[in-house]
Structures are given as C-alpha cells and as structure tokens.
Amino acid sequence: MWNIFDEGKSIGERGSENGIIVRDEEHTDGSRITLERDCHAPFAITCGIYGWMVHTRFFSTEDEAQEEFNKMQVSLDSILKMIPLVDDSEVDTKCEAVSQEISNFVDAYP
C-alpha cells in the first residue's frame, strides 16, 4: 500500500538529486519512491527498498516521469511481496530470488 511520505512534508523540499520534490510516496512494507524536478536532469525518480537497494532514473518530461513512477510502483510492490520474513525456513533461497528480481527491475528501468 502506497501512502504520501511524511504527510507531504517533503513536497517542495530538496531531494537526493538536489531537485525539488514534487511527488513522494512510501510503501507500508518498506519502500519509497520520489519524483524531483530541476535536478541533474529536468526530472528524476529515486526509489529504494529499505535494506535492499536504491535506484535513480532521469527524464526530460514530467509526463514520462509520472508514467514511469506509476509503473515502477507496481514493480516495487511485486518485489516487496517476495521478501521473506527472517524466520522463514527458506529465507536464503527466497532472498536470492529477491536479489535477482531487483536486478531485473534495474534492467527494466534503466
């Protein structure tokens, strides 16, 4: 489930790419995705899964960035569902699958 990060307090602030945050959402299972404008490119999306990865992409138009933001959220949600609990008897095997899916995500969203 995606919610506005920090009750929207980050909107208008500087993000990790030194741009102005225009959209910032967090998943209840441990992920965040942020859209910035006026950074190293006209727009940037930075996303992460807490304890697993951080990934940034750059765009020339807001429409494209917003569309990709929505697609990336769906993919991040799928990965979050794969992450096992620490006491799962198959934690090592499942963590390998999560790592592979993260690699696939980065390839799909270069």
Q: For residue 71, what pLDDT band results from cuts at 50, 70 and 90?
A: very high
**Region 27-36: what's the mean pLDDT?**
98
pTM: 0.96
Percent of the chain with pLDDT over 90: 99
Domain ranges of the chain: 2-108
pLDDT of res. 57? 98
pLDDT of res. 3? 98
Contact 19, 44 (CB under 8 A): yes
Mean pLDDT for the chain overall: 98
d(CA 34, CA 74): 14
**Region 18-28: what's the mean pLDDT?**
98
